[in-house]
Structure 1
Amino acid sequence: MKHLSPQEAWAWLQAETERRTAAGQEPPLFVDVRMEIESLYVGRPPGVENIPWYEYPDLTPDPARFAAAVEKEAGGKDRPVLLICRSGKRTLDAGQALEQAGFAEVAHVLHGFEGDLNDQFKRSTLNGWRHDGLPWEQM
């Protein structure tokens, strides 16, 4: 699994989208693994597909279900997949599940969408997608 900073992930996503589109291939699949409510109300990168690693009320990951949902959305296991979550922790487990399921190219965004907690227990102040000023939208 590739570990990309938010800036590196955005640059990779743009370059791979351009390269693959020119070659007549699907662009990388960008997956937000947070619960749907997190993705909608906290904010998310544009164009990201929400496929939760786990969901309320169970809050229990089901790696096989997750990998099957990503495969269905991707159209196969050869399409590159970029994962994002709140802080970059869930994507590690989700990415490992995809690799174990046979996905050829998996990357994740270090520090996720909101980044690490600061000394006052607040996110989006040290690092992360939003902190780095990358495109995002909110419901």
Structure 2
Amino acid sequence: MIENLDPKQAWALLQDNPSAVLIDVRTAIEHSFVGHPPKAIHVAWKEFPGMQLNTAFVEQVQQQVADKSAPVLLLCRSGQRSVDAAKALETNGYQHLINILEGFEGPLDENKHRNTVGGWRFHDLPWQQS
């Protein structure tokens, strides 16, 4: 089963559970230039050009997170790629998967802008840029 937590709940879980791991599934460009939570492990679900599926995604996560019972939190821009990535990990035996609702930038507002109505940055959680 894949759990859903909002960004503040996800941050609290990461603080309270030292075995929890945060995987940022966005593209390398998003991770570096838009920003990411501290200590987030970057493993792209899809990558430029063309947003091609990373066929080595599960293998790359397994290299970072060997313990399939550890809490694995997944973060993308708005919460969709992370769900797909979580499903792939669930199929491969990961047992405690958590999708971070709203993602890093949150949904679009009425002006088609992000970071104004939800998301990791909107909630003033720690983040950094490369």
**TM-score normalised to structure 1 length:** 0.88
Question: Is 1:15 equivalent to 2:16 in the alignment?
Answer: yes
SS of the equivalent of 1:39 reads: helix
Q: Give the C-alpha shift of residue 76 in structure 1.
A: 3.4
Q: Give the C-alpha shift of residue 119 in structure 1.
A: 0.3
Q: For structure 1, list consecutive stretches of 5 or more residues without a partner in the other structure.
A: 18-26
CA offsets 1:80-107 (integer angstroms, 9 cap, x no match): 2111010011001000110011101110
Which has the larger strand fraction? 2
Q: Over aligned residues, Cα RMSD in angstroms?
A: 1.2
Q: How many residues align?
A: 129
Partner of 2:86: 95
Q: For structure 2, list consecutive stretches of 5 or more residues without a partner in the other structure.
A: none
Partner of 2:103: 112
Question: Is 1:38 equivalent to 2:39 in the alignment?
Answer: no
Q: Give the C-alpha shift of residue 58 in structure 1.
A: 4.5
**TM-score normalised to structure 2 length:** 0.94
Q: Max radius of gyration: which structure?
A: 1
**Higher alpha-carbon deviation: 117-126 or 70-79:** 70-79
Partner of 1:24: none
SS of the equivalent of 2:12 reads: helix
User: Structure 2 CA distance, aligned partners of 1:59 and 1:117?
Assistant: 20
SS of the equivalent of 2:60 reads: helix
Which has the larger helix fraction? 1
